[in-house]
Amino acid sequence: MLRNYSNSRTLGDNIRLGTLTAFTAGTINIASLLIFLSFTSNVTGHYAILAAEISKGNWAQVGIVGGWILLFFFGSFLSNFIVINFNKRSKYFAHSMPLVLEIICLLFVGVYGQFFYQKTLEETEYLVALMLFATGLQNGLTASISNFSVKTTHLTGTTTDLGILFSMFTQKKFRKNGELIARAKLLTSIMIAYVLGAVFSGLTYYYLEFMVFYLISLCLLVVIGYDAYKIHLRHFNTQYRYSRIYKKQNIFAYLYDKIHGIPEIKEKRQEKRKFVFDD
């Protein structure tokens, strides 16, 4: 999900990344709405509030809402900054670091809310700001590494694109276009995952309250851990093949043999092949 970059990504990579991160985005958005009475997975509504507060001349609120928008912007900026600057050193590190930062932010919100939150206006404003920064990190990462194909923190563009695609599918020539079909599958999976995350958050919040942010962090850890597992498994297999080719024992081959058993070497491989005309 995180190793591949831009055009080298497959449809499966994007669907796995899109569904898991969209699920977490939907969960975050509903949790923040129920707790703080504010959406935190997108800034469309905040732009409207910003304009309304400017027209009223309420400059204190303008500063707060403007700060929220800037934090979402900075989250996206920082996410792509990490990707493009550390991508050559390690793609996995560059692509996983924004999610690690998001997990730290969400865990802070969960711990602070569970043990220290006094429901004051200032606390609410700071926590909403932190969550907007976290979702900005997520949206910037998914868009950056997928060549802008995956955006999971809001559904405005997704719904628009799906409407356009389904209108195109009314013609037979477009229904046979594999690229358009793949795009429709990706967007549909993101939309469904986002809604499922929102429903899950609404059903579990009244039992878990701020602990729901721990579950969200766990989902993001699955995204990070999936690629870590793939990388180490591939390295394990490579080391095992190396030991078999060069007859050099190493720890990876030793562990493999312990788990799967040492395959029996057939006698035919040890014997010199005999041709029919040798008789």
pLDDT in tens, 166-208: 999 999 899 999 899 999 999 999 999 999 999 999 999 888 8
Q: Which domains does the chain have, with CATH numbers?
A: 6-226 (1.20.1250), 240-278 (no CATH)
For the cut 90, the answer to whether the pLDDT of residue 240 exceeds it is no
**CA angle at 52 for the pair 77 and 201, rounded to the nearest 5°:** 60
**Cβ pair 142, 151 in contact under 8 A:** yes
**Cβ pair 274, 265 in contact under 8 A:** no
Q: What is the mean pLDDT of residues 43-72?
A: 94
Show the DSSP H helices in the chain as ranges: 11-36, 44-56, 59-86, 91-115, 121-145, 156-168, 172-175, 178-208, 212-246, 251-260, 267-270
Separation CA 242–CA 250 (nearest Å) = 9
**Which tops the pLDDT comparison, 252 or 65?**
65
SS3 43: coil
SS3 266: coil
Structure pTM? 0.79
Express each pLDDT in 107-157 by its tens digit. Answer: 999 999 999 999 999 999 999 999 999 999 999 998 888 877 888 888 888
Closest CA to 227 of 148, 158, 141, 151: 141
**Cβ pair 131, 32 in contact under 8 A:** yes
